[in-house]
Amino acid sequence: MLNKVASDPRQRIPSVEKVLQLDGAKELLELYGQTQVTFAIRRVLNQLRTELSEDKLHLLSLENIVSECQKWLKVQQTSSLKGVLNLTGTVLHTNLGRAVIAPKARDAALKVMSSPVNIEYDTVQGERGERDDHVEHLICQLTGAQAATFVNNNAAAVLLALNTFAIGKQVVVSRGELVEIGGSFRIPDIIARAGCELFEVGTTNRTHKKDFDLAINPSTAALLKVHTSNYSIEGFTAEVSLHAMAQIANSHHVPFIADLGSGTLINLEEFGLSHELTVRETIEAGADLVTFSGDKLLGGPQCGIIAGKKEYIQRIKSNPLKRALRFDKIILSILESTLRLYQHPEKLAHELPTLRYLLRSQDEIEQLALRIFPTLQDLLKKDFNVSVASCHSQVGSGSLPVDRLPSMGFQITPIHPQFSATKLAAMFRNLPVPMIGRLHKSDLWLDLRCLENENDFLEQLQHLKMPL
């Protein structure tokens, strides 16, 4: 007798156990293990339960179920953090992880990661040691500071310094320096979170020595100068020199803290770039404490460095917050080997990727562009005009904010309005190694300053599905 009532197709969904018995599933078990595979099967079967209808019965095939599991497991296994090609023209791009670590520093970190290390152990005396000691002497040597201490990033360095000296008290800052960096670091907020009160002096464009003199009161605990990292104030301006601020702070026995932001250990002018006040110059001009980042112009790992007078550094080291903000052995090792590169300045421009990128000549970048050009043009020519064009890179991360470095790249202009540069940019971003360019007006620009090997670029082009 025929059953006239159409049976619910969902009753034909196999059990998890049945799928697990399949040969295809056994391969997955080998690769991903019982827990993940069972989870994936449950997921796929649940999905079937909600999607299945008479016209989708093909979804029920066991091969389809296994292949859906496989697809899902593969996506799950792919890390969302991956290497990209930085073609934005911004060398120190905060969203792309800032400085690329030097190979020597990377190798040193590998060793430290895979064995116990004497990070806080004095192997000579056989007793407890200090983690800062491994790099403090290097910073002192390279900056002329008496002492130094290290934390997770420069925001933490500023927070810790302010909290140490001015909790419950006032920090005096010029109104022209109340900066916001990258959206989440704002000087007024950091001062508040450090438990201090902000005392603003002067105006946006002009601050005078007398403004600071008048601000000092019994509640004053520190003077702070902040590098205006991502903008410049031009025109009718006045700022108080480091030297004058140091004098005021000194005569009132409060520390003068200079937040350099990027901070550099070398005179960039000697390398043909614009002058950026060095850490050494800032200390020589009278700053008691200088804070700066490890992964900006320094070209090392993310960390924050505080360098300056011994008595002040000592007090910072004994602040309980220091323990909460300390850096780890991997970062320590990368920082140490990066700083050692600075001991050999003749080779620095070769060994330190950040400096190497900054110093690349437009000619060299153009040669690279011309080697890639035929392949790129061939691929895109149906829908886009591609040309090798001169452009300007920037340092980024608030270093030398107004400097522009003559560079070379590809200017890609859509021929038909339906193929937008925005769409092409998205395709480049979706490559196995995402290529990140810059949209300007209706064009996509790929600046080649930070690309060293054309094969890295050409290899990705093979994955581009053209025409669109």
Ligand X SMILES: *Cc1c(COP(=O)(O)O)cnc(C)c1O
Q: Is 70 in the site for ligand X (CB under 6 A)?
A: no
Candidates 124-132, 225-233, 344-352, 428-436: pick the segment binding ligand X (CB under 6 A).
225-233
The tokens for 291 are 């804070």
Nearest CA to 449 out of 182, 181, 96, 107 is that of 96
Q: Closer CB to ligand X, residue 262 or residue 264?
A: 262
Residues 172 and 199: their CA atoms lie apart, in Å, by: 5
Binders of ligand X in range 265-304 (CB under 6 A)? 293, 304
Binders of ligand X in range 414-443 (CB under 6 A)? none
Residue 439, φ and ψ in degrees, nearest 5: -90, 130
Residues 270 and 272: their CA atoms lie apart, in Å, by: 6
The one among 211, 239, 259, 288 contacting ligand X by CB under 6 A: 259
- Beta bridge partners, 436, equal 86
The one among 176, 398, 401, 437 contacting ligand X by CB under 6 A: 398
Q: Closer CB to ligand X, residue 187 or residue 273?
A: 187
Q: Closer CB to ligand X, residue 38 or residue 154?
A: 154
Q: How far is the CB of 274 from ligand X (least distance, A)?
A: 16
Binders of ligand X in range 168-197 (CB under 6 A)? 181, 185
Q: How far is the CB of 433 from ligand X (least distance, A)?
A: 25
Q: How far is the CB of 231 from ligand X (least distance, A)?
A: 11
Residues 414 and 416: their CA atoms lie apart, in Å, by: 6
Q: How far is the CB of 32 from ligand X (least distance, A)?
A: 38
Q: Closer CB to ligand X, residue 92 or residue 425?
A: 92
Nearest CA to 155 out of 128, 178, 177, 184 is that of 184
Q: Is 101 in the site for ligand X (CB under 6 A)?
A: no
Label residue 200 left, alpha or beta by phi (over 0 means left) and psi (-120 to 50 means alpha): beta
Residue 6, φ and ψ in degrees, nearest 5: -60, 125
Site string for ligand X, 227-256 (x = CB under 6 A): x-x---------------------------
Give me the sign of the Cα torsion angle 161, 167, 171, 177. positive
Q: Which residue is nearest to ligand X (CB)?
A: 261
Residues 464 and 455: their CA atoms lie apart, in Å, by: 15
Residues 253 and 248: their CA atoms lie apart, in Å, by: 9
Give the list of residues 6+ apart from residue 200 with CB closer than 8 angstroms, or none: 173, 174, 175, 178
In a 3-state reduction of DSSP, which class is residue 295? Answer: coil
Q: How far is the CB of 180 from ligand X (least distance, A)?
A: 10
The one among 153, 164, 394, 411 contacting ligand X by CB under 6 A: 153
Q: Closer CB to ligand X, residue 202 or residue 398?
A: 398
Residues 352 and 336: their CA atoms lie apart, in Å, by: 13
Candidates 152-160, 244-252, 315-323, 443-451: pick the segment binding ligand X (CB under 6 A).
152-160
Which positions touch ligand X (CB under 6 A)?
Answer: 153-155, 158, 181, 185, 226-227, 229, 259, 261-262, 293, 304, 397-398
